[in-house]
Amino acid sequence: MAIDTSREFKPVNIALLTVSDTRGPDEDTSGDILAERVKAKGHRLVARAMEKDEADRIVNRLNNWIDDRGVDAVVITGGTGLTGRDVTPEALERVKTRDIPGFGELFRWLSFKTIGTSTIQSRACAVVARGTYIFALPGSTGAVKDGWDGILDEQLDSRNRPCNFVELMPRLLEK
């Protein structure tokens, strides 16, 4: 990774979604960490919400943000585990245009360094949905740090070389 300081930094409009049956806004430490990192990097936090682990609710929230041209990317924390209530990947299946398979693979590789083989219980994933990036991370504070610091911080920086997600944004809707 190399940041080319001669290139312009282009802030990304990011919406954050916390998916949880057990946490409320006062206990949303993972969402707080993501919000702090988004702002510290110079991006715009344009929306933030919480939804229960219910696919229909997640899909409705995502569709609203996908249809809002003021949202470039959505970062989700929570709902990526293996239990019956963890339905974030299934919700993404319902809105996606295409998968970004390397995201989940890289996340689990990075997470392995932190939590060992327990990373296999994560279904972290990413998709493009009608021109909007959606990244789904597990709900733990360690997982959001791994996902943001190890992947999203670089890939959402327009100065990252040799390439980044930002430079693809204008072409995501091309056919």
Provide mean pLDDT across the span 141-157. Answer: 97
pLDDT > 80? residue 1: no
**Least confident range of 15-29, 47-61, 155-169:** 15-29
Split at pLDDT 50, 70, 90, the class of 26 is confident
Instruction: For 110-145, write each residue's pLDDT tens digit.
Output: 999 999 999 999 999 999 999 999 999 999 999 999
DSSP run (H or E) holding 175:
none
Residue 99 contacts residue 127 (beta carbons within 8 Å): yes
Please, how many CA atoms are within 13 Å of residue 82, restricted to the half-sphere of its CB?
5
Q: Is 144 exposed, middle or buried (0-12, 13-18, 19+ CB in 10 A)?
A: buried
Sign, Cα dihedral of 154, 166, 51, 47: positive
Query: Which residue in 115, 167, 106 sits closest to 140, CA to CA?
Result: 115
Sign, Cα dihedral of 39, 165, 48, 113: negative
Q: What pLDDT, on a 0 to 100 scale, did the predictor assign at position 2? A: 87
CATH of 11-168, one of 3.40.190.10, 3.40.50.720, 3.40.980.10, 3.30.420.40: 3.40.980.10
For helices 88-95 and 55-67, the axis angle rounded to 10 degrees is: 40
Q: Where are the domains of the chain?
A: 11-168
Average pLDDT for the chain:
96
Provide mean pLDDT across the span 146-170. Answer: 97
Cβ neighbours of residue 10 under 8 Å, at least 6 residues apart?
A: 158, 166
